[in-house]
Structures are given as C-alpha cells and as structure tokens.
Structure 1
C-alpha cells in the first residue's frame, strides 16, 4: 500500500506534525512526498500571487506534482489516476452540487471520486475519535478546513485563526504579498490595508505586476505567411513548436517544421519554412507555406508562441503528455521528437494553454483606459438628454436626423451615446425600442441600465467610475486635469469635450441626480458634481449588473467580498455605490423570488453568490420584473 503526501510548500506546521505521527504509527506503509520542484515563494514571485480569478496554485502545487510522482512510482511515462477526495456537500453551496464522480478533473488523466459527500461534520469527528485517528491540531484552534496556509479563498475566520496561531508559517508568503502591494503604494498603513483587507485576492491579470507581459500577436502578411511576435520569450519557440510537428533547424535563425496536412487534403504531411528575427529581447517568427485550410496548425503554432512567451517551468503541462516526450525542469523545456506524437495536449492544456499566461498576461490593449473601444471625440460635447430619449421612443422606427430635431453635432454625439448605451431602435440592442416603450424612457430602471451599459463601453464613463471616489466632489476643470494621466494621447480640447459631455449627461438625465451618480452644483460659474450613490436602487438593475459583471469576467460564482475588492467598473458598488449590507439584503430578497436566476450563501463567514449561466444579461433585463 502506497501513501503519497502532497506537500504544497504552503502547509501549516501542525500538518507536517500529523504526517510524521502517521508515519510512526503505521510504519508498514510506504510513504512518499510529492511536491513541486519550486517552492511556493518562488512560484508566487514568478507567476504572481494566486487570486480568486487566477487560481493556478492548486494545479502547480497539488495535482501536477502528485501525478508526476505516480509516474515515477509505476515507472510509466503516463498514468491515469483515481483520486479519492474528502470533500462534503455541507461544506459550501458550491460543493453541494458536486457529482460523486468527476472524470478529467483538473487534468485529463485524473478521475476524482468523493465517497463521503453526504457525511456531516459530526459523523466525521465520530469516525476519527472512535478509531483514535490522528487529528490535526489546527481543527482544535477552530479551523473548519485545513489546507494551504495562505489562500485567496480563505474565509475571514480562517485567516484570523492562522494569523494568530501560525504567524511564522505564513510569514514568507505574507512577505511576498507585501512585495506585491508595494507596486501600488509605499505607505506602511496602505500596505497593511492592501494585504489585510484581501485586495490581493482580486487580481485578474498581469496588469498589476511589474513583470506582466503582452500576449504574442499573430498576423498574416498574406494567406500563406503567418507572423508571430513574441515579447521577451522565456523559452525557445522552436522547442514548443516540436509539439506541433518535427522541427529541423538549418541554423539559429531558420528551419522547417513538418506538420499534419489539412483534414481535407490528400497529403498527410506538410512542410513549413520558418525564419526567426531577433530584435533585442523580442522575436518575430515568419512561417510560410500555409493555406486557408491550415486553421488547426495556425492555432497550434500560436499556442506554442504563448508557451514560449510565458513559460515559468511550473511543470503543470508535463502531466498532460501521454508519452513522456515533454520534460520540464526548473530552467528548461525539452521535447523528445522521437516520442512526441504531436497530440498537442501539452499546448492545449485542457483549454488553458498556459497557467502562467493566464496569470501574467496584460489586459488586451495593455491599458484598459487607452483601448480603442470608444473614442473620446465621439460625443461632440453633448450628453444624452432625457427629452432626446423620449423623442426617440415617440418617433420609433422613423427616428433619424430629420425627425430628431437635433443639430449635426447633437445628433452625432447622441448616436455615439446610444451605441455605447446599447440602445437600438431595432430589436438588436440590449435596450430595444419595444423594451424602452415597455419600461418607459423616463424610468429609473432604463437610466440605471443605460449607466450599466456605458460602464462597459464608454471610456470617459469607465474613467469616472474607476477614478472618482464615492463621496467626492469634482469640478469640470478637475476632471479635465485628472484625465490627462489616463488619456495622454488626447489633446486637452478633446478631453474637455468628453468631460463636458459627461457633465451634461449628469445634468440633463436622471443619471446625475435621481441615481446620485453626479449631483450637480455650482461654485460661482464653476460647475461641480458630487458622486453620492443611488439611494433607492432597483433589484432588477442590480441583478442585471451582476450578470454583466459575470459576463465580463466569465465567472458566474463569486463572493460579495470580490465585488468590493475587484477593480471592476461593472460591480453594483462601482456602478451605484451600494454598501455591502444593502447589497446582501437585496440579494437575499431576490434569491427568494427568483431562485432560478440567483442563489446566495450568506451563512457564518460565507458570502457566496451563484448566477445561472444559462441566462444572458439581456434575457435577465427582458424577462425579470421583481416585486
């Protein structure tokens, strides 16, 4: 009988003690320890601290080392593992819907079974005590689960217990978090607040890391020539390309790769020429000989570029290789072309491609404030006026420049606002003409929905949401100055036009005063707005905004803490200034009236929210009317 202890490098001291006690009590057992070749401090520094959105640590420090150890024990290049888990339904709402058997969980070669899913805590402790089994002392301190010492999913209670009972165990990783926090502030109090409040748990990309990297770009010079651009690759593209096809190098800068022919081709093989141009630390790889039928090959070559760019040698993808051709050490990747069958499982990695890439990649466009979704020049200095929206609904399908009664710049500015508010006189927009008529163009529901949509699509609105704090009073001149840092490529005149349009939106629509987003006042001739918050929020809009948040982050399960810590423009707090107790109260009510759309778990130290991924935000808005 073999026992493998998975040491994550993040265990509590008492966990190691209970392992040693178990070894002494049952000396006949064959004990092995599986752990990553890199300790947790190293991986946290190389890949960035794990978060609720980027949870790479379980694969890197748990499942991958264990499966690699099993390979060694059985002497085979690949194994299928049956993992017996001790998770139980009563532990959380999320686990309550787990199946008893999960095939391909975390890795394609792993199957999990959960034999004690329906056991209660009482039954667990009765079983342990009746058999005098070793009990981790951490449970006696009050922990309900014992796992990694620092975890982005840990509850406030768990963190309190660990901080007081195991401070020396967590110090190395807490030091890494302080190092990460120093990227945002140097003030001691701010550093403490950043770490203790859990803001580190909300990291969603590599944008907040000094070593975050852009995703390799892919383009075509023509239909047959693919160009890959990799910034400061960590590994050789030619090594990862061996997972696509056999690579033959003519010299350091060029070679050939023998790939599978297209499925609709008579040829089973195809030879592609490639040339590598190095510019400082960057690489530009030009691959010729492709056709429009080589879509799968192009995709795989792109995956190889992503691997080369981000690889931190975490060894997670090595587990996916069915032949043992892929070998990853702490410093190098090598693929044995004699054993590789070009299945690309290591490149695909269950759809993740690369865990390091997910953790380190910069948001598309590198800077979310300077992307090209919306141009600051679009609004011509005008906002959406309530009477203009009323006129649009009145005229309906015949609405145009001629029927609107607006001047050229007014009409142009309004059209841009309507686009970004997702208002369409056809039935294509989130706010269609029929829905506007049904809800009423003067209703708070419509205007709060407009504001929610603008938070997704409008640069100036996103800037205001993210940079002007609740309770602040700012003048138009203040905003023009503040926008200079975030829109450095725009002139002062352009920024002033955008701010003027935003202030008019507040002045001429319910968004400003009724929703409390920008309550206008004047100091002499200087106009100011106060960001107060919505005093009477509607549950329909809050639910809609949660679905927009879920859609943007591709996550339909999250905690209330995340909504208040994440740097998102689309959470109910960012949009409307709702306090956490108020949001919790509203969601409790909505979960009772619309359990098919939202479930909550607000018990003890849990504050989980579960949405139904079968519904789109538009469907929620169209079909939900809450009492």
Structure 2
C-alpha cells in the first residue's frame, strides 16, 4: 500500500504516505540464511537471531540502504551463485543488526493508521455478514500473513465470535508445525477456539494414487485443504449447508493472480463459502513492521531464508526457494522428491538423469497419467453408429450408488437398469465380454438431454472405478447426500443438483492419472515454421509489397530466402492472409493470393497490435500456435528446455529431438522479434541478442512467461468469438463460464485462453460490445447467470467491417 525508502540510520526502512506502485516485497534476513548461502565465508557477523542483519528484495541483499550482494539461480539440488558488490562494513568489521525498535518507532504513525483502517473493515464485514453466515474463522497457515490477520481479527471481534482453522496438508515444515502448536496455545490463552482440518489421506497415500501434483494438475489444494476444511465445518456446526466467512491472509503483492483478487469473495471459488482478505493491499514492508511492532510470533522458516511457508514441495515453487527448503528440511523434502521419482514413468532413467529431471522441475509439467508409471485408463468410451458404448475393465458395484445422483435408479435384472433424467426413462444394459463389461444405452438418442445424460453416466463410471474417497465430491455436495465415512452411500433423498459431477474430468484422481484413451491428441505439423519462425521485419516487407509477386520474386528483398521462404508461406497461410489461386501465379508462392483479410491488415499496418492480434485469432487454429495456447500455462517461467520437454507428448515420434528443437527455436524467434510476444502477451522474454562480425544475429532465450494482453481490443475479441462459434459447429449461444473453462475438449478456442483474459476483463469487454455492436452480440449478466448470444446471421468476415 505505502511506498518506502531505505533508512541507513536504523538499517531498516521508512514508510511514506505515497502509494507504492510496485512492491519488491522486502523481507528481513537473519544469520541462518546468510550461513546457508555461504556469506559467512566473506562477511563477519555474530550468530544470533534476535534481530535481522539486513533485508532482501527478491534476490538482492540490502544493508543499511546499499545493495551489497545478490544471488543468481539455484535449484533444489544446486545452491544459488553468490555475487558480492561491496563490503557491508569496512575492514571486515562485524555486521550491525537492524535497529528494529527504532525502525518501528519511526513508522508507528503509519502502521497504526493502517491497522485501525483494517480493523474497521474486519468489524464492518462481521456486522454485514453476521446474519448471513454460520461461522467466522481465520484461515491460518502458520505464515506471516495469517499471523498478522489473526492478530487484526482478534483486535476487531469478540473472541467468542470467530474460530481459527488450520488446514493441515501434512506437507508443512517442522518449523510450521512448531508455530502451529504455539499459536494453538496462544488461542487457548485468549479463549479463541482452534480447529484443525486434515484429509483422510496422508501425503504418502495421495501422491501414490494421484501421482505428484503439477502446474496444471493441482489436485492437492482440493484434497488436502479445501475439502477437509468444508467437511470439518459441517461436522463442527452440525450443518450440511454451513456457510462460513474466512478471514484470510491473502495479499495482492504475493503474485500476479492474487493481485486481481477482490477484497471480498462471495463464494465462487469454494461453493457456499465466503472469504474476506483484510490485508489484500498490504505489502511485506508494512507486514513485517506490524509483526515487530506487536511482537508477534515469526515462523522460524523465515529466519532460515524461506520467503514463504506452505507445502515443502510444490509445483508452483521454483529456483532458490526450492533450494532453501531442501537445505532446511532435507528429510521431509527428500521424502516427497522420492515420491516424484518412484511414481515417474521415466523408468529407464539413470539416477543422474532422474535427479536432473527433478532438479530442472520437469515433473511439474505433467498433464496426464502417461508420465506416471501407474497411470492408466480402466475404461474406454466409443461412439458406434451414433450410439455411445462404454467398456469397463473391472466394473464394481459403486456405480449403482453413483447412478442415484443422476435420477431415480431401478435395477430391473442383474444386467438391465433404468434411470430417470429430465422426464425421460433411460435404459442401461450391461454385457460381459472378453475386454470387460460393455455398457450400452438402447433408448438414448443424440438430443441435448441425451448428451447430458451420457456425460453424467460417464461421470458415474469414472467415479466408481477411480474413487479413493478423497472427500472432494462429498464436500461439493451441499445437500449432504454423500457419505464416505464407511465406503460409499448416496442418500435416497439426493436432489440431483449434479454438483458432485462438477469436477475436472468428473474425478480429480482420474484427471491426474488418465492415460492415452480420451487423453491428449497427437498433433502433426507442429514444425511448420522449421527453426526460423517468422520475424516482424518479414511481415513489414510483405505488407510493403501488399503481398505482390515482387515480394516472392525478390526473396523478400533478400531477407526471406530458401527455407525461410517456405516457413513464411506457412505462417501467412496459417494467419489467414492468403487464398490459393492456381490462375494467379506460376509457382507455389505466387499462387497464394493476398485475400480481403490481408488487405484489411495492409491498411492497419505491421506496427499495429491489432494486426498481430487478429492474425493470432486465426493462428490459434493451426498446429504450432494451438499447441502453444493449449499447453503453455499463464504466468509461469518457461525455459526452452522446459518447452522441449512439454513437446514430448505431442511429438512422441520425434525420437532424435530435431522436431522439438525446431519448434522451440521457431517460437523463440516469434516471441522475441514480433509483437505476438511482449505486446500481445504470448511471451514476455528474458533474452540476449548478439550480432557477429558477419552480421548474423544470434538470440539466446533465457526464459519467458505468458501474460494477459494488457490492452485488449473489443473488436478483436468479437472476431475471436465468431471464430470460436464457427469452429464449435455454429455454437452461437454460450456462457462466460464456458469461455473461461479451458479444460473442455473443443474445436473452438476461447479468446480468454488466447489472450489470457480473466473473468472481469472479459465481462467488461462483452458488456461494451453488446452496447456498441448489438447487431453482432447481446449479453446478459445477472447474479450467477450469464448468457452470450452472437447473431447467427453474421460471420467472422462481417466483423472485418468494424476495423
């Protein structure tokens, strides 16, 4: 919230009343961190942790207002490199502690005002929701943020009006468990009830049956935190429909995704649960000042150089943070790393290769069970002559319980059953074959309700054969109709709300271990741009010649020759700029005539972001860009090595790796040299560019990350929406939720996925479009309902007229 200046006098900082534009999240540095990183070889300091010696901003170390060192790199097995800039103290004199009491005194006025403002917000939220929720609680993790939140809440509310709830994942550090024990006693002393929620599955069990979590398969949060907490609150309140208000320690400065949080969440993330983030706008400078001022407990993990507490091994963690945890808690970290190794499908890896696999974080990129040594599908779904057939290798009787969640279920014979759904009775027939149990649906057609019924029954099958009673489905059921305390029991009073089916791939375990069947599709033609990619300069020249023969005959004025010419031709075909016309030219290049779309872009110009964004709307339906958009996550640091690894599944026949190298190199050139990278957001790049004596350019891409298009143009989004609808088989009415659900297997690509746009941004754009272009689109956003309708009389081509 507030900016700060370094204060050489105290060794701390001075908060200023002006707002902070960008927080570097300063944190105190104690002697244990200095020891772990090897500073004791160069600096003289006393081994006491009464106070910190300096501060760290990211990887930079600040002593008395001066940057004296930084660290570079680091992995779980490799220490980061130390880079020293200057001696903290002259003549190797000992480091001085930060004068914390003096720093606190200087910042007291601002901190007091900030705390009082936050306390008022907490109290006002309590008053507003006192009759709307059943229980107020502080979601406690043992970290600095939840410690501050707890202190503020206990200052704002009577101690018998809220609880403290710790979600024990079983993967916390020993220091965190020590902290929890102390806080639990503190709560007891001030008569605040302290609750603990824990999954029935231990981490050892869950990692064995789910496989290690990954960036896009984060089953762990639901299984080990959300579901246990909801189930505990229901048991505690004896209310299956309990509505809780969680006071959390979420802060916007912690991550890009959290910076977009609203202060109050109305239960969209966790069904039926509200959350209020009182310190959302606090930065870490204010946070630590408050901790020191109030003399609050500080988790020992921070004094050992851990910038955050939480699960010891997490797919969202990287670099130096992983190294610090591995050094501080080797037994616990190695136990989880061993699970990664023992479940990996890399069964032919040597010990060194497996360590490298873990060290480089490649395990985090897993998308299916194909990368596990036990990942498999136990069922097959086929459509023959318009009829769906499900074959299950080993069908158990649990499906009969799950079937009750669809509608009234009747067992007619051992092999024939009926289920009511949407005022229709559906027959289900079982037949034993060599491959397993064959399930057919004799009276099921292809209508909208029939398709929905088949989807629900598929969910029933998946739940019955993959369920390990993790509790997520039970937590999703707000009607309290699912009991997993002793096997599985579905109540006969099930209200058929289908909330238990509203889970990724119907079951988080299946989503994590599913294999080839029904899994990722093989993609061909990924290396259409060879290793050359395309450069903005090539588009400039093509536009300059307005796609004429002169461009092709001159080899792009000498810049687009030989195989580069073929790569460029593939690119402009994919971007929708040309139409093949056998009568137009006399070779494979000149016969590709610039079309109306290209002529529109010629007028916009190659410097316009609109030009590149419109091309991307078309490129999203071609192999290389479609793979990129569907597989490269938002806001994650991606190296070229990681990119090649991610390509393994889509290019499994590329045994020598030449194709993956081509795709990686082509994407590197595109991201670095065209507006598709930084301007549009496909990749903010950290790279080095060198030109040798011969004038040849070499680009080294260190890493990149996808982010949202910062200035999305509504008309581009409208064009993309029509492309989406047309590729979905003229699907002209849909919801914003559908556009934001990227897990749906669909031929259409949502503009939200192409341009990394969030819910609020999309809603604003869609609302504006419906006002400015009602002839193309109408929208309705009321409460939890939303409908987006495109005019079926219009096409994506008609949108051109708006530019």
User: By the TM > 0.5 criterion, same fold?
Assistant: yes
SS of residue in 2 equivalent to 1:271: strand
1:80 paired with 2:234, answer no
- Tell me, in whole angstroms, the C-alpha distance in 2 between the residues paired with 1:45 and 1:290: 38
Give, in angstroms, the shift of residue 176 of structure 1.
Answer: 0.4
1:552 paired with 2:638, answer no
Give, in angstroms, the shift of residue 118 of structure 1.
Answer: 1.0
Give, in angstroms, the shift of residue 191 of structure 1.
Answer: 1.1
2:646 to 567, 583, 594: 567
Contact residue 391 and residue 435 of structure 2 kept, 8 A? no
- Tell me, in whole angstroms, the C-alpha distance in 2 between the residues paired with 1:365 and 1:288: 23
Give, in angstroms, the shift of residue 143 of structure 1.
Answer: 1.5
Partner of 1:17: 178
State the TM-score, normalizing by the size of structure 2: 0.52
1:34-433 pair list within 5 angstroms: 34-181=197-344, 183-214=346-377, 217-218=380-381, 226-232=388-394, 236-261=398-423, 270-279=424-433, 282-291=436-445, 292=447, 294-295=449-450, 296-329=452-485, 332-336=487-491, 338-349=492-503, 353-363=506-516, 368-369=521-522, 386=566, 399-400=581-582
Give, in angstroms, the shift of residue 360 of structure 1.
Answer: 1.6
Give, in angstroms, the shift of residue 607 of structure 1.
Answer: 6.8
Against the structure 1 CA distance between its residues 425 and 119, is the aligned structure 2 distance closer, same or farther, given a 3 Å change threshold?
same
Against the structure 1 CA distance between its residues 96 and 314, is the aligned structure 2 distance closer, same or farther, given a 3 Å change threshold?
same
1:610 paired with 2:707, answer yes
- Tell me, in whole angstroms, the C-alpha distance in 2 between the residues paired with 1:556 and 1:170: 27
Partner of 2:535: none
- Tell me, in whole angstroms, the C-alpha distance in 2 between the residues paired with 1:589 and 1:218: 39
Contact residue 210 and residue 509 of structure 2 kept, 8 A? yes
Against the structure 1 CA distance between its residues 233 and 563, is the aligned structure 2 distance closer, same or farther, given a 3 Å change threshold?
farther
SS of residue in 1 equivalent to 2:206: helix
1:461-540 pair list within 5 angstroms: none
1:5 to 139, 161, 166: 166
Give, in angstroms, the shift of residue 218 of structure 1.
Answer: 4.5
Give, in angstroms, the shift of residue 134 of structure 1.
Answer: 1.9
Contact residue 318 and residue 326 of structure 1 kept, 8 A? yes
Contact residue 422 and residue 449 of structure 2 kept, 8 A? no
Against the structure 1 CA distance between its residues 583 and 233, is the aligned structure 2 distance closer, same or farther, given a 3 Å change threshold?
farther
- Tell me, in whole angstroms, the C-alpha distance in 2 between the residues paired with 1:584 and 1:364: 33
Contact residue 182 and residue 191 of structure 1 kept, 8 A? no
- Tell me, in whole angstroms, the C-alpha distance in 2 between the residues paired with 1:61 and 1:555: 23
Give per-residue Cα distances to partners, 1:91-127, cap 9 Å, x unaligned: 1222222221223344222222211011121221222
Give, in angstroms, the shift of residue 231 of structure 1.
Answer: 4.4
Against the structure 1 CA distance between its residues 233 and 259, is the aligned structure 2 distance closer, same or farther, given a 3 Å change threshold?
same
Against the structure 1 CA distance between its residues 152 and 562, is the aligned structure 2 distance closer, same or farther, given a 3 Å change threshold?
farther
Give, in angstroms, the shift of residue 389 of structure 1.
Answer: 5.7
Partner of 1:32: 195
- Tell me, in whole angstroms, the C-alpha distance in 1 between the residues paired with 2:390 and 2:479: 28
**Unmatched 5+ residue regions in structure 1?**
262-269, 375-382, 463-544, 623-627
RCO higher in 1 or 2 (8 Å CA, sep ≥ 6)? Answer: 1
- Tell me, in whole angstroms, the C-alpha distance in 2 between the residues paired with 1:387 and 1:607: 23
Partner of 2:699: none
- Tell me, in whole angstroms, the C-alpha distance in 2 between the residues paired with 1:599 and 1:384: 22
Against the structure 1 CA distance between its residues 60 and 299, is the aligned structure 2 distance closer, same or farther, given a 3 Å change threshold?
same
Contact residue 231 and residue 309 of structure 1 kept, 8 A? no
- Tell me, in whole angstroms, the C-alpha distance in 1 between the residues paired with 2:662 and 2:232: 46
State the TM-score, normalizing by the size of structure 1: 0.65
Partner of 2:549: none
SS of residue in 2 equivalent to 1:558: coil
Give, in angstroms, the shift of residue 328 of structure 1.
Answer: 2.7
Against the structure 1 CA distance between its residues 234 and 52, is the aligned structure 2 distance closer, same or farther, given a 3 Å change threshold?
farther
Partner of 1:491: none
SS of residue in 1 equivalent to 2:257: helix
RMSD: 4.7
Contact residue 244 and residue 342 of structure 1 kept, 8 A? yes
SS of residue in 2 equivalent to 1:16: helix
Residues matched between the structures, number: 483
1:583-622 pair list within 5 angstroms: 591=678, 594=679, 597=681, 608-612=705-709
1:430-449 pair list within 5 angstroms: none
Partner of 2:656: none
Against the structure 1 CA distance between its residues 426 and 217, is the aligned structure 2 distance closer, same or farther, given a 3 Å change threshold?
farther
2:665 to 577, 588, 600: 577
